[in-house]
Amino acid sequence: MEVQGPGDPKSTDGNLLLFIHSEKFLNDLPQDRQVLIVSENLVDLAKSKNPKLLISTKNINLAQSVICKKFFPIVVKQIGENLIHASVCLGDNSKIGEGTSIGPNVVIGHNVSIGRNCKIKPNTVIEDGTSIGDSTHIHALVYIGPNTKIGNFCEVHPNTSIGSEGFGFANDNTGAFHRIPHYGIVEIHDYVEIGSNVSIDRGKVENTVLHEGTKIDNHCHIAHNVKIGKHSGITAGFIVAGSTTIGDHFTCGGRTSVTGHIKITDKVQLGAVSTALKNIENPGNYAGFPLQPHGDAIRTQASLPALPKLKRQVAKILKKLGL
């Protein structure tokens, strides 16, 4: 049996590999599809669609990730015939590993080390002293500040800034601002992925660190001296202020904020649009502002629409009591 590749369940093409995450997609699916891969709880319903091949899995998202990368990889050809484009500006004592491709108009500073089989896309700037490990992909229009360390198998998406100075100023007696130099760097460990339009500031004295396997969505800000643990999943709009330490396996919903100079332990989940203002010492699922355990936050949110009516009722009671 041969399929063209993964497809949209709404497509009329019958020769697609379809990953079905929910009952909704199955209900709308035509009969006699080529191959369906479904969650275990959807097997009986999927059989009614009479697919040519039905595969069930405990983890549909993981199955989609592994199968698509192995059998249907996305291949983007390098611009230009040579691995290193003629327009690349390469500084003194910089080393480029075997099999690495560098696109047009890339600027690479002095004493930069780039590993093997990397991809550096057009118009990226890599400042002096930076090191990049093997098989790392830096997309177009990325800025990487001086002495940044990026590990193996990382990916940085377009328009992201890594290693610029953080927001560090001192006031004099007139109230004027004076910038404080930042001597720290950014360390990005292996298998980290960073989305588009992300800003990660280098440390003032300590380093800003993203540990192994962490994934950061688009439009996030990581301030100076922040440390984020292993295998954390950070979604769009996340903002964390300076000198905060976040443990391993941290996850958060969109537009979550974390204040500076606090510590968050391992295995903490924060709901969307939540704000953490103090240390979180116990693993668990939290949400809201002020932050509460997730169940309490839902009940608090559900009660808010009733507050105006409750306020009027309390006012009537107080008036009746002459208070």
Residues catalogued as catalytic: 224
**CB within 8 Å of 177: residues ≥ 6 apart:** 169, 170, 171
What values do phi and psi take at 201, rounded to 5?
A: -85, 145
Distance separating the N- and C-terminal Cα atoms of the chain: 81
111 by Cβ neighbours in 10 Å (0-12 / 13-18 / 19+) ranks as: middle
Q: Note whether 30 and 63 are within 8 A (CB).
A: no
Q: Report d(CA 283, CA 253) in Å as an integer.
A: 16
Tokens of 110: 């002095």
DSSP state string for 262-290: -EE-SSEEE-TT-EE-S-B-S-EEEETTT
Between strands 107-108 and 95-96, the pairing is unpaired
Q: Check: CB of residue 246 under 8 Å from CB of residue 227.
A: yes
Contact 201, 167 (CB under 8 A): yes
3-class state of residue 313 by DSSP: helix
Query: Does an H or E element contain 69, and which?
Result: helix 60-71
Q: Quick one: tokens of 190?
A: 């292996």
